[in-house]
Structure formats: structure tokens, C-alpha cells
Amino acid sequence: MKDSELKFDRTCHVLYSKPCKKQIQSKIALHYPKKSREYVWEQVQRQYVDFLSDWRTDLGGRKNFHNGAGGTYDCIALMAYYTICKDVASLIEIEEMEGELFLPSFRILSRFVDCNKPLFKKLMYKAFASSKCKCDQWGDYQMSVAPYDGDKPIYYEFTACPVAEFARQHDLLGVMPALCNPDYTAMELIHARLMRKTTCANGFKCDYTICGSKDPYVKEHPEYRDEAGYRRN
């Protein structure tokens, strides 16, 4: 089925990104014989449309920066893929797919950004503060950022996350570790470390404590992977 034929309200929702479509189709090709692939893909498309049929309509559509590659709607598409293909799909695979969508910009930044250096740490803080302003504009992710202190890690938190909200609504919270874990890899790419106790999916908030990879604070808060698959500290 052509993407243009999918029937959902495009005045408030967006289509999954082209990189997301490519990721899903590549995994379908990996798991299914050629004669079945188009059918399976169409089932994923239909599931995506069905997911949007009762989904909130206030997330800003194309204007909201959270709705691009690896963002809110791509996460919904990955959950559509997982729903249709759960017999063959794994959370490790979903985590890899989300990483391929979410991490390209961080891979570019890794060539010159080192958050052990005060300049880049301050710039990272400013980026988070800017994101908070955008979240306030759209009212999607409820975000707060602690005041900057050059001698301490950066701290911010989300107390509302549309992706976690969607997963809870559709009984897909089990997929959330795969969608949350790439946050850790993103920080590692820019020589920083994320320390997080909970997310909006397995707690009441998603807490981000971030510092340079060489900061002694890192050793004080070792990382582990819990039984659900979350990377946490």
C-alpha cells in the first residue's frame, strides 16, 4: 500500500519517517519470505493507522521537532511493527532500530564534541534548556531543567512523555526499554554519561543526570540492565 493511501488525519498527525520505513522493511525482509513481505508491511501500515485513530491530536504535526526521525511517531511505527511481527521481532532488534533512527546526529557530533570540556558541557546545557522551551510550546513532554552549575552534573527530567503514554494506553510498556535505552548511547557518543533511575514508563519521571565520561560522579553511580531490559543506575 502506498503511504499516500493511508487514511489518517494529516492535519495533526504525521507519517513515519522514511528512515523508519526503511528500517522496518529491512527487518521484514530479514524475517519473512519474499512472497509475504508486502503483505506483512501492509499489516504494519494498517496497525499504524489504527494506532493513530484514537491518539491525541495536539502534538504539533510536522511543526514539532519531536515528531521527526526517531521521535514520537517513529516510536509508534516501531510499536506497530512489534505488534504485527512479535513472533519474530525482539526488543534487542527494536533498540537497534531506534538507535539507527535517533543516533545519526550524535554520531556526527562525536567527531568534535567532548563533554568533558567545560565549553561543550555548557553548550549541552543550553541545548537542553532550548528543548524545554519547545516542550513548553507544544505541551507534549513535560520537562524541567535544573539551573546550570559548572561543578555539578547537568540535571533535567520529564514528568510526562507521549511515547510512554501511548505504550501504556496500548499495553506496550514492555517495548519501552528498547525505545529509552538509546539515550545512553547518545551521551556516550559525545563523551558524556547518562545516569538514570527511572523513566516515565517504569516510574513517575524520566530523570537525566549527565556529566562528562571522565567525571568521578560516573563511578559513584554504576550502570546495570534490569530485568525488564532498562539501562539504569
pLDDT tens figures, 57-98: 999 988 998 999 999 999 999 999 999 999 999 999 999 999
pTM: 0.95
The reply to whether 212 and 167 lie within a common domain is: yes
Same-domain check for residues 203 and 171 = yes
Among the three residues 72, 102, 132, which one is the final residue of a domain in this structure?
102
**Same-domain status, 94 and 182:** no
Instruction: Report the chain's mean pLDDT, rounded to a whole number.
Output: 96
Give me the pLDDT at residue 65, please: 87
Question: What was the pLDDT predicted at 84?
Answer: 98
In a domain, 107, yes or no: no
Residue 135 sits in the same domain as residue 84 = no
Closest Cα partner for 17 from 140, 101, 99? 101
Q: Do residue 52 and residue 116 come from a single domain?
A: no
Residue-number span of the structural domain to which 35 is assigned: 3-102
As a whole number, mean pLDDT of residues 108-137 equals: 94
The pLDDT assigned to 139 comes to 84
Name every residue whose Cβ is closer than 8 Å to that of residue 193 and which is 6 or more positions away in sequence. Answer: 187, 210, 211, 212, 213, 215, 218
For residues 119 and 92, state if they share a domain.
no
**pLDDT, tens digit, for every residue of 125-182?**
999 999 999 889 888 899 999 999 999 999 999 999 999 999 999 999 999 999 999 9
> Residue 109: pLDDT band by 50, 70, 90 thresholds?
very high
Residues 186 and 216 in one domain: yes
Domain end residue (candidates: 54, 69, 102): 102
Total structural domains within the chain: 2
Please check whether residues 64 and 142 belong to one and the same domain: no
118 and 220 share one domain:
yes
